[in-house]
Amino acid sequence: MKDIVFTRRSGWIPNVIREDGQLKLMLGAGADANHDPRTFTFPIEESHLAVIREDLARHLLLWSAVLPLCDAAGTRGELDESAAVALLDPILLAAPAEVDALFQRVRWYEARLIAHGADIDLLERGQVYAAMHAATEQANDKRAQEYHVTRRRAERGVVLGPLDTGILRYTGQYLHGSTIPRRLPDAVDPELLPRVMEVIATAEQACAGMRIGLDPRRGKRGTDKRDWDRMAAAVDAAVRAAHPELVEDAVRTVSFLMCSEAASRARNTPVEDDDDLGGPAGKTALSFTDDKDGEKKWLRDGSRTASAEFWEFVADRYAGNNEVFTIEDEEMGEGIQLHLYADSIARITTVRPGEAGSEPEYRVEYSLVDGIGDYRKLVSAFVSGGCAALEQHGPWMSDHAEFERARRQRNAG
């Protein structure tokens, strides 16, 4: 039989229950192996209950000191009841100086105290009891998060100025630097917002006209890392030059905002818009293949472009062991082979078709490729005008050994 004897309005603060005639403190902490919350109890006396009822500060101090014991119990272990009981008198019944001394010896969760209004300056000076003079029953977890974020930055040697803070709040990156940045003007002090917008305007001007394309090697919604890096570098350089007082965290979040917005635009742009049809002289029928016997036919029926269909084929089929893709015009006897693992391409033309059982003769020429954007140009050029249209995108090397030397030289550089 379990009866609740005392509880506060905030449900997470430990309750006092009576179970089989015994007073116990009950709290939820951690989770079990199935990710369900765990509940712990340990016995207390009537004298402890009296203090818990009347003194919110001591109640919270006890909670912050018991939580590490709950963590130590893990997903299946038992609470160290003796250690928990040993905290009761020193926290609930002892003089303030003895409370402070105890908190110098045991583990405790400062985040819980900060969330409930603890004076941070006093906590950092070791005056834990006095720090709780303005304790609140309602928690402000954001306050605790901001404290720990500030401390982590300080450990890295980062101290934010008002403009740095404004920029991080504007992008939603003040608390969580790994989240996708957004534009949140209402999160910034109105007096500071015009200065923040000057920085954003500098970034927008720096990347005007730049774009981040899709990279099917990274899936249907994957974007080109090289495009991202180029845009980030341009924004970083411009912002640093115009606003040298900004710390690295602020500069990085601005470039992150510009790049993530450009990447989002790329993901929401129809693939056909990234393609060059090349007019009426373009191909009318093509075959796409990969290194794993995958094949897809494309006919110019007006529904989708060859490039769009091809890159979708790559996105669906690309893998670590499937990185070579071919586009072939069987009627014209020509094609291109993309070596996506090596940033290179081969154009293949039929010199002599096979006759009377003989093997056909092909001319194979190789060229280096500068990332997925270059691949897209080459594919569009081939779709538009075949191998002849690729001539301007050379140089093309028919000697494979010469090509391999050029590729190694590029990679070494």
User: At residue 357, does pLDDT exceed 70?
Assistant: no
pLDDT-above-90 percentage for the chain = 71
- How sure is the predictor about 42, in pLDDT bands with cuts at 50, 70 and 90? very high
Angstrom distances, CA of residue 301 to CA of 272, 285, 286, 297, 306: 14, 9, 12, 12, 10
Sequence-ordered alpha helix ranges (H) in 106-247: 110-115, 120-124, 128-131, 141-155, 162-170, 193-206, 225-242
pLDDT, position 281: 54
Q: Any idea how long the chain is? A: 413
**Predicted structure pTM score:** 0.71
The b-or-e profile of 318-336 (16+ CB within 10 A means b, else e) is: beeebbebbbbbeeebbbb
Q: What is the CA radius of gyration of the chain?
A: 33
Higher pLDDT pick, 359 / 118: 118
Write the CB contacts of 61 (distance below 8 Å, at least 6 apart in sequence): 91, 99, 103, 108, 113, 128, 129, 132
- How sure is the predictor about 40, in pLDDT bands with cuts at 50, 70 and 90? very high
Higher pLDDT pick, 83 / 32: 83
Mean pLDDT throughout 209-224?
88
User: At residue 273, does pLDDT exceed 50?
Assistant: no
Mean pLDDT throughout 254-269?
93
pLDDT digits (tens, 9 = 90+) for 129-179: 999 999 999 999 989 988 888 888 888 888 899 999 999 999 999 988 778
Distance CA(377)–CA(357), nearest Å, equals 37
pLDDT, position 303: 75
- How sure is the predictor about 277, in pLDDT bands with cuts at 50, 70 and 90? very low
CA 209 to chain centre: 25
